[in-house]
């Protein structure tokens, strides 16, 4: 080791200059250039494809765009415990199919879409007619309009983290006149009856083709 490096002060100064030079070159602390974030428009396109899956009921898109180890920070409100604890991709596929069951004529629309770095924020609106069983209750036939916000992080073309609000769940129930103490309690506990009437409801012999693997 050169003599000047044996002194703690010069050594610290040398390392600080080395770190500054690496930063100026866009290198990490070990001299390795970090992976570049995907262009914002590319990440926006991924989120748009996910939203369109909710319009079309195409569950295969979920498996293509969602990382199996995704950190899902949403409340998972409106699902029975078995679905809440399911594999995250399978849970999201279940959500797509249940939206189709409950609101066959649903239409999700992009209202605001912002991307910065690896993060995308989507504010969406949805209109539809409640023509199928919802949270174990019979269809009401009522028309609804609601909105919500999703925040995701994307890496290597896959969604690796997800956050969402749950306000739209209560908004829908309010519009459908279904928001009562009994249902609120079932939502809190993840009651099995929440899946009643849906093709994706857990059971001893679930149909093998309900959700593509």
pLDDT at residue 205 greater than cutoff 50: no
Q: What is the pLDDT of residue 119?
A: 97
Q: Within this chain, do residues 18 and 60 fall inside the same structural domain, yes or no?
A: no
pTM above 0.85, yes or no: no
Q: Is residue 200 part of a domain?
A: no
pLDDT at residue 115 greater than cutoff 90: yes
Q: Is residue 202 part of a domain?
A: no
Q: Within this chain, do residues 2 and 70 fall inside the same structural domain, yes or no?
A: no
Q: What is the pLDDT of residue 201?
A: 75
A 10 A CB-CB count for 169 gives 17
Q: Within this chain, do residues 3 and 88 fall inside the same structural domain, yes or no?
A: no
Q: Within this chain, do residues 124 and 68 fall inside the same structural domain, yes or no?
A: yes
Q: Within this chain, do residues 7 and 73 fall inside the same structural domain, yes or no?
A: no
Q: Within this chain, do residues 13 and 57 fall inside the same structural domain, yes or no?
A: no
Per-residue pLDDT reduced to its tens digit, 75-105: 888 999 999 999 999 999 999 999 999 999 9
pLDDT at residue 24 greater than cutoff 60: no
Q: Within this chain, do residues 105 and 61 fall inside the same structural domain, yes or no?
A: yes
The CATH number of whichever domain residue 111 belongs to comes to 3.10.450.50
Sheet containing 119-129, strands listed edge to edge, beginning at the edge strand earlier in sequence: 66-72, 158-164, 143-155, 119-129, 107-116
Q: Within this chain, do residues 91 and 106 fall inside the same structural domain, yes or no?
A: yes
Alpha-carbon torsion 35, 37, 38, 43, what sign?
positive
Is the CB of residue 140 less than 8 Å from the CB of residue 177? yes
Rg (CA), the chain: 23
pLDDT band at residue 9 under the 50/70/90 scheme: low
Q: Within this chain, do residues 22 and 47 fall inside the same structural domain, yes or no?
A: no
Number of domains in the chain: 2
What domain range includes position 104?
A: 40-195
Q: Is residue 184 part of a domain?
A: yes
Q: Is residue 49 part of a domain?
A: yes
Q: What is the pLDDT of residue 93?
A: 95
CA 98 to chain centre: 15
Q: Within this chain, do residues 114 and 187 fall inside the same structural domain, yes or no?
A: yes
pLDDT band at residue 200 under the 50/70/90 scheme: confident
Q: What is the pLDDT of residue 35?
A: 55
Q: Within this chain, do residues 123 and 48 fall inside the same structural domain, yes or no?
A: yes
Per-residue pLDDT reduced to its tens digit, 155-171: 999 999 999 988 999 99
Q: Within this chain, do residues 75 and 93 fall inside the same structural domain, yes or no?
A: yes
pLDDT at residue 132 greater than cutoff 50: yes
Alpha helices in 25-87 (DSSP H): 40-56, 60-65, 81-84
> Of how many residues is the chain composed?
213
pLDDT at residue 57 greater than cutoff 70: yes
Q: What is the pLDDT of residue 105?
A: 98
Q: What is the pLDDT of residue 211?
A: 54
Beta bridge partners of 125: 109, 147
What is the bridge-based pairing of β-strands 158-164 and 66-72?
parallel
pLDDT band at residue 59 under the 50/70/90 scheme: very high
């Amino acid at each position: 080791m050169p003599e000047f490096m044996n002194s703690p002060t010069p050594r610290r100064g040398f390392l600080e200059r080395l770190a500054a030079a690496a930063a100026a070159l866009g290198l990490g602390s070990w001299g390795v250039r970090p992976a570049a974030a995907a262009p914002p428009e590319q990440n926006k396109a991924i989120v748009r494809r996910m939203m369109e899956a909710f319009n079309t009921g195409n569950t295969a898109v979920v498996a293509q765009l969602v990382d199996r180890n995704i950190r899902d920070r949403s409340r998972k409100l409106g699902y029975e415990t078995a679905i809440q604890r399911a594999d995250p991709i399978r849970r999201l596929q279940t959500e797509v199919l249940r939206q189709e069951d409950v609101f066959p004529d649903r239409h999700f629309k992009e209202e605001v879409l912002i991307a910065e770095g690896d993060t995308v924020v989507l504010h969406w609106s949805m209109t539809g007619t409640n023509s199928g069983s919802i949270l174990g209750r019979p269809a009401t036939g009522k028309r609804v309009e609601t909105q919500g916000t999703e925040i995701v992080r994307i890496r290597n073309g896959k969604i690796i983290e997800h956050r969402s609000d749950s306000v739209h769940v209560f908004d829908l129930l309010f519009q459908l006149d279904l928001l009562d103490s009994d249902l609120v309690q079932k939502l809190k506990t993840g009651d099995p009856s929440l899946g009643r009437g849906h093709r994706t409801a857990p059971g001893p012999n679930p149909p093998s083709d309900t959700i593509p693997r």
